[in-house]
Structure 1
Amino acid sequence: MLELKDISIKLGEFSLEKINLSIEKGEYVVILGPTGAGKTIVLETIAGIYPPDSGSIELNGEDITFADPKDRNISMVYQDYMLFPHLSVYENIAFGLSVKKNPADEIEKKVSEVAGILGISHLLHRSVINLSGGEKQRTAISRAIVMEPDVLLLDEPLSALDVRTRERLRKELKRLHMRFKTTVLHVTHNFEEVFSLADRVAVLNQGKIIQTGVPNQVFSQPESKFIAEFVGTENIFRGDITSGSGCSVITVDGLDIVSTATGIEGKVYASVRPEDIMLSREPLKTPARNSFEGIVESITNNGTMVEIRVDAGIPFVTVLTRRGFSDIGIMEGDSVFLTFKAAAVHVFS
């Protein structure tokens, strides 16, 4: 439905380089990347704010690369809302429909429907000036979705909100997407938004898309050291790999880690997500191919999870729930065993 082909653009010292991205009708795609990666510029180029230096943008088979923004039927929501302060909530939501001279009864019907879904029907008469951050963002999203856009662009729409409001709005965005089947391109650096909303994710860094895939694939099978570090893999090792029958062995500082990766030789990176590592006081009776004894170096309580760093000849990081940590009863300096499957070891160049 939406296709970016070799989009390149230079803005001052920053540039997007050959951005290629295809989005299906009704798909919810999240662009993930660090601050300064160019995420917002990708959205603004799609919206028509910046013309690309090269490449093309197609929407429903039509070239819109240099089309006027008002002719693209694309709506965009920024993290700072950009509401009209002199208008009421109702007038803000109805603004685009009024500009298009839709009949008053049709405008009222559409505004009421969207406001009801986003839970702001009781606010329609109010000025936007005194709304909370969550109410302002709901108003901004309503104003965008009421236009029935072909594509909805969301630029970190939840980043300015508190944790509880962010969680509620994530659920409302999910419900909104299911109700209207709108094609959505959502920019964020928040992993929770990726897993709760995205059908597919594209990782952007320094103006380049460096990996695309479903969330689980990108997070468990990163294609570069940068992605592995960015998505919080933690356990990333550099070593020599030798392939055997049905498996490979990566030797890292004298420690042999078994992986299901085959047909690879030479220097590689190996990564294991912390949540894939089992921690125990005694060796586990399990078919898992990797089991190492080590010493607990540090314990960090991160609220819902406890991070444990273990020296097993090389440093490992694993995580436990607070209940799991309480049950195992370990302290810094204790001897423990780390166990993980060969399939949990991802290998990349």
Structure 2
Amino acid sequence: MLDIRGLSLSLGEFSLDGVDLTVDDGEYFIILGPTGAGKTILLETIAGIYAPASGTISLDGRDITRTDPKDRGIGMVYQDYMLFPHLTVEENIGFGLLQRKTEPDRIRELVSETADLLGIGHLLDRTPGTLSGGEQQRAAIARALVLRPRVLLLDEPLSALDAVTRDRLRRELKAVHRATGTTVVHITHHFEDIFALADRVAVMQDGRIAQTGTPDEVFRKPATEFVAAFTGMENVFYGVSRVRDGEATIDLGAITLRTVTAVEGDVCVGIRPEEMIVSREAFESSAVNAFSGSVTEIQQNGIFSRVVVNAGLPFVAVLTRQSVARLGLAEGEEAHVTFKASAVHVFPR
């Protein structure tokens, strides 16, 4: 539905470098990446704000690479709302329809329908300065959505909001997407957005797409060391892999891991903290990687605790606070870590 091929562009320190990306019709697609990866430039180039140096953008099979932004059928919403302060919410939402010379009665009808969809139908007579951040963001989304775009681009729409408002608007975005079927491309750095909203995810690195897949594929099976580290795979180590009969032993110096991989030689390995089983006694299971050590750190983080066990290498695990208390874990105490061979992800160096 939206097909991007070989898109390249440089703007100062930000750039796109041969971006390839396909977004399916009706999909909620999220783009993740560090600051400077080129996420906003990619969205603005799709919208037509910038012309690429090379590459193509196609929408519904039509090349729109050089098409005027107003003729692309694409809407864009920024994190800072960009509402007109002197216009009412109703006038802000209907502004694009007015520019299209839509009949006034039809404008009122569409504005009312879209405002109700976003839960701001009762605010149409207000001005942006009298609204909360969440209400302003709803108005900005309504202004883009009322034009019935083929693609809606969202540039970190929840970042400026407090946690409670962000969670509420996240649920509303999901409901709006379900109700309208609009194709959405959404930039974020909040992992919660990905699991709550995304059908698929792309991770950007230095102006390129590092990996694309479902949220589970990207977080559980990262394709590169960068993706593993960026998505929170804290246990990242370097070693040497030796493969025999499809099984590998990975020498990390202090310890040796076992896994299944075809990657040999110098490697990087990653294990997600939630894949770690921590126990006070040796844990009996089918997991082939089991090590004893001592707890060096316990850090409380809301309902979860980050536990570090030094077992030759510092393994990070995530446990509930109740589990930490039940196990009697404490800094300086002996502990065991256990994890399956399938939890070890291997990347060539």
Which residue number corresponds to residue 69 of structure 1? Answer: 69
Q: Tell whether the 8 Å contact from 1:253 to 1:314 is kept in structure 2 after alignment.
A: no
- Which consecutive unaligned segments of at least 5 residues does structure 2 have? none
Deviation at 1:301, TM superposition (A): 0.6
Which residue number corresponds to residue 181 of structure 1? Answer: 181
Instruction: Return 90-99 or 137-146, whichever deviates more.
Output: 90-99
Structure-2 separation of matches of 1:116 and 1:329: 52
Give the secondary structure class of the aligned counterpart of 1:154.
strand
**Partner amino acid, structure 2, of 1:95:** F
Which residue number corresponds to residue 25 of structure 1? Answer: 25
The one-character-per-residue Cα deviations of 1:284-305 (angstroms, maximum 9, x if unpaired) are 2211111111110011111121
- 1:151-166 residue pairs with structure 2 within 5 A? 151-166=151-166
Structure-2 separation of matches of 1:236 and 1:110: 52
1:140 aligns with 2:140: yes
**Partner amino acid, structure 2, of 1:268:** V
Structure-2 separation of matches of 1:256 and 1:341: 13
Which residue number corresponds to residue 120 of structure 2? Answer: 120
The one-character-per-residue Cα deviations of 1:76-99 (angstroms, maximum 9, x if unpaired) are 000000001111111111111122
Which residue number corresponds to residue 270 of structure 1? Answer: 269
Q: Tell whether the 8 Å contact from 2:247 to 2:259 is kept in structure 1 after alignment.
A: yes
Give the secondary structure class of the aligned counterpart of 2:41.
helix
Give the secondary structure class of the aligned counterpart of 2:153.
strand
Structure-2 separation of matches of 1:277 and 1:246: 23
Give the secondary structure class of the aligned counterpart of 2:283.
coil
- 1:1-349 residue pairs with structure 2 within 5 A? 1-261=1-261, 263-349=262-348
**Partner amino acid, structure 2, of 1:33:** G
Deviation at 1:330, TM superposition (A): 1.0
Q: Tell whether the 8 Å contact from 1:77 to 1:157 is kept in structure 2 after alignment.
A: yes
Structure-2 separation of matches of 1:174 and 1:325: 35
What is the Cα-based RMSD across aligned positions, in Å? 1.2
The one-character-per-residue Cα deviations of 1:273-327 (angstroms, maximum 9, x if unpaired) are 0001011111122111111111100111111210011100011000111222221
Structure-2 separation of matches of 1:67 and 1:144: 19
Q: Tell whether the 8 Å contact from 1:33 to 1:189 is kept in structure 2 after alignment.
A: yes
The one-character-per-residue Cα deviations of 1:65-119 (angstroms, maximum 9, x if unpaired) are 1111111110000000000111111111111112212223322222222212211
The one-character-per-residue Cα deviations of 1:115-174 (angstroms, maximum 9, x if unpaired) are 122111111111111111000000000111111100000000000000000000111111
Structure-2 separation of matches of 1:135 and 1:296: 46
Q: TM-score, normalised by structure 2?
A: 0.97
Structure-1 separation of matches of 2:178 and 2:14: 36
Q: Tell whether the 8 Å contact from 2:15 to 2:41 is kept in structure 1 after alignment.
A: no
Give the secondary structure class of the aligned counterpart of 1:174.
helix
**Partner amino acid, structure 2, of 1:215:** P
Q: Tell whether the 8 Å contact from 2:58 to 2:64 is kept in structure 1 after alignment.
A: yes
Instruction: Return 252-261 or 145-154, whichever deviates more.
Output: 252-261
Equivalenced residue count is: 348
Structure-1 separation of matches of 2:245 and 2:276: 24
Instruction: Return 218-227 or 122-131, whichever deviates more.
Output: 218-227
**Partner amino acid, structure 1, of 2:87:** L
The one-character-per-residue Cα deviations of 1:172-211 (angstroms, maximum 9, x if unpaired) are 1111111111111101111111111111111112111111
Q: Tell whether the 8 Å contact from 2:114 to 2:146 is kept in structure 1 after alignment.
A: yes
Structure-2 separation of matches of 1:329 and 1:97: 63
